[in-house]
Amino acid sequence: MSGTIQWYPGHMARAERELRERAALVDVVLFLVDARIPRSSSAHPRVEAALAGRPTLLVLAKADLADPQATEQWVRWFARRGRTAVPFSARSSRGVASLVRHIFSAASARGGRPPRVAVVGMPNVGKSTLVNRLVGRRAARVGSLPGVTRGIQWLRGPEGLLVLDTPGILPPRLDDQESARRLALLGLVREERAPREVLADLAFALLRGRYRDRLEARYGPFSPQALESSGTFYRALAERLHFLLPGGEADADRAMRHVLREIREGRFGPMTLEWPEEESGGTEGGGP
């Protein structure tokens, strides 16, 4: 099986086209990224180009699942580059009040009418949750503006705020395969698009490296021999968890599935896969 990850369903192409058509109606853009992988989960260039020239706010979504130290560093990293980044947590609604203030401030040149905000990001990054927080539970479609379609729609929020809700959009090609693997590891693209062994290797490197304390707090200490490679680790873990095949052989594949699921469920605690210290620079468009 190839390790190359590609995924661009037809509804994404349609949503991208509709977003470009309605870009002129937008005052402010909220670019959502996953706080655990801000670079890998950023919007793709065509979307950024379509919305260029408008005030943008970067929303570090799922902040409750990210390492808080890393999130603080990312906020400062973006600030040094002239960008406002606001952490957002669905569990606590953290960041909503700050986002609303930033939205009205950024749209101050709109001529007195309520601001129109586009919420843009990849699938599964938390757009629907943020939209619900912005507009409230009784969100109503707005029929007087273009965009009330199955794929993209205007919703009315408090103080007349208009929110353009968009489906998740991925780049047509995921050329950076390291980013693609991180997206798959965290469930932002379907796991079956990548070989399980590839994702398991990435998970092992993360846990053995920066988060070894979390690994051993979860499963207990491992010998140097067990941590020598991904293969030795998953076999050792399978034996420890009694994941055995008929005949008593360690079921390493089941151990891989177990670790991948636990990472996505946050069982190891808040973790971040991308840190500002790893960045040699940053783009000044919609994504990091």
Q: Coil, helix or strand for 198?
A: helix
Q: Is 129 annotated as a binding residue?
A: yes
Alpha-carbon distance 288 to 286, whole Å?
7
The Cα–Cα gap between 124 and 131 comes to 13
92 annotated to a ligand binding site = no
142 appears as a binding residue in the annotation: no
Strand order across the 28-34 sheet: 85-87, 56-61, 28-34, 116-121, 162-165, 153-156, 140-141
Annotated binding residue at 42? no
266 is in an annotated binding site: no
CA atoms of 232 and 245, how far apart (whole Å) = 16
Residue in this structure with the two tokens 């873990």, named with its chain if needed: 237
Contact 186, 264 (CB under 8 A): yes
Task: Tell me: is residue 126 an annotated ligand-binding position.
Answer: yes
Query: According to the annotation, is 160 in a ligand binding site?
Result: no
Sequence length of the chain is 288
Annotated binding-site members: 124-129, 168
Binding residue numbers for GTP: 124-129, 168
